[in-house]
Amino acid sequence: MASAFSALGTGAVLQAVVDLHGSPLAVYAWITTSAWLIAGVLFVGAAHSESRWRAASRIQAVGQFAVAAFAVAAFPLAVMPSVLNPALLYGFSSSAPAAAICRVIDAALGLSATALISWALVANHRRYMKLSDGLAGLVSYFLVACAVGLLCYSACAERCDGWYTMGQAAFVWSWIALVVGNGVENAFAHKEATERLDELKAMHDVSWSLVGARNVKELLELFVSTLVNKLGAGIAAVYLANEQDALELKAICGSEESKPGTSYPLVASGPWPGFHSGHTAKAFTSRQVQVANDVFVDVEFVPWRVIAGDDGCAASIPLVDRDACIGVLNAYFPDAGQLTTERLRLLTTIAAAATSAIEYAMSKEVEPTASDLDLAA
């Protein structure tokens, strides 16, 4: 790919140098045409290539650099004799018939380059659709304008006519699209990297919130407060299963209307919907993540006054350790756009990591039975 762009750039510069020193202006531009032909071959090869050369030693790294330097410098070195002595280039068009033949050959090579660029365009588009390769998508935009420019260039009857000018404008637009697209891709990559860094920081903070807690109550309170403060959740709550086939609210942060210690039955006591039919109960019984996009229908732990002012959504993540589900982690986000696929995956990872800590803290708080005390005595 780098060799293709290098051939295009150096071809345009060297053709300009020859045109400035040549008199009169040649009716064909074989340096530019050759550059597009070589670039087309390289673009096609890059689109279909899956291999990567990874240097394993210093000698291989030096060899890789030498091969890359040769590939980039090969085209400029090949056309340098014509650049240093423009008479070699203009000698082919010394007569009108010879110039016409040269123009036909130049147009044929331009059409061949157009076919190669079109091939590379289709291959890069397929690569982008299949692998979501951002570079392939960016190159596709670049090659569209290049193909249009080559068609206009091949249709021109002489240098600097209307078709030639349109072709040059298309080439300029292709480079602008490449530069702007690369900037946009870098901006998205930077944004994604920043989000991943924030997620790692959130994981670090949540992990430390689970360390050093003296009891289950303190651990869960630190856990939900960290989710609200570090992960951007509006409300976070943890429900744990008890012996009465119910989920007991153990800790909540972000809302003062729901009180810890309240139990919610998982079994229906009548024909009416209730907690047992909500997303929290579904997450516990199915052991699968439940997302409530329409919180107006299923509120449970979110006050109505909060819902009325937001366009939010809630997620219920089961706390599963091996084959046992001990409870549910609920998280409400005021903006539905905050609950992205990556954020939901992060919540799932956090819940999985917290489950073992919660179980360990619960086992440390189990009071000894009378038989245990007699045995100890």
Q: What is the per-residue pLDDT for 116?
A: 92
* pTM of the predicted structure, to 2 decimals: 0.59
Check whether 123 has a pLDDT greater than 60. yes
Region 89-93: mean pLDDT is 64
137 versus 106: which is more confidently predicted? 137
Q: What is the per-residue pLDDT for 106?
A: 77
Check whether 60 has a pLDDT greater than 90. no
Taking the C-alpha atoms of residue 257 and residue 286, their distance in angstroms, rounded to an integer, is: 27
177 versus 53: which is more confidently predicted? 177
Q: Where do the domains of the chain lie? A: 2-192, 214-364
Q: Work out the mean pLDDT of the chain and round it to a whole number.
A: 80
In 303-363 the beta strands, taken as DSSP E runs, fall at 313-321, 324-333
Q: What is the per-residue pLDDT for 18?
A: 80
Cβ atoms of residues 303 and 310 within 8 Å: no
What burial class does residue 198 get, using C-beta atoms within 10 Å of its C-beta: 0-12 exposed, 13-18 middle, 19+ buried?
Answer: middle
Q: Which residues pair with 248 in a beta bridge?
A: 240, 263
Q: In this structure, what DSSP letter does residue 217 have?
A: H
Give 316-330 pLDDT, tens digit per residue: 999 988 778 899 999
Check whether 375 has a pLDDT greater than 60. no
Q: What is the per-residue pLDDT for 308?
A: 62
Region 56-64: mean pLDDT is 78
Q: What is the per-residue pLDDT for 373?
A: 40
**Quick one: pLDDT band at residue 119, thresholds 50, 70, 90?**
very high
260 versus 367: which is more confidently predicted? 260
Taking the C-alpha atoms of residue 223 and residue 236, their distance in angstroms, rounded to an integer, is: 9
Question: Mean pLDDT lowest for which of 91-100, 102-111, 113-122, 306-315?
Answer: 91-100
Check whether 252 has a pLDDT greater than 70. yes
Q: What is the per-residue pLDDT for 121?
A: 92
Taking the C-alpha atoms of residue 27 and residue 93, their distance in angstroms, rounded to an integer, is: 8
Residue with tokens 């409870």: 327
CA atoms within 13 A on the CB side of 149: 20
What 3-state class would DSSP assign to 194?
helix
Residue with tokens 């994981």: 203
Give 9-19 pLDDT, tens digit per residue: 888 888 888 87
Question: Mean pLDDT lowest for which of 63-67, 197-201, 296-300?
Answer: 296-300
- The superfamily in CATH containing domain 214-364 is GAF domain (3.30.450.40)
Q: What is the per-residue pLDDT for 376?
A: 44
Region 106-135: mean pLDDT is 87
Give 272-328 pLDDT, tens digit per residue: 666 777 888 888 888 899 888 766 656 667 776 677 677 788 889 999 887 788 999
Residue with tokens 């039955």: 265
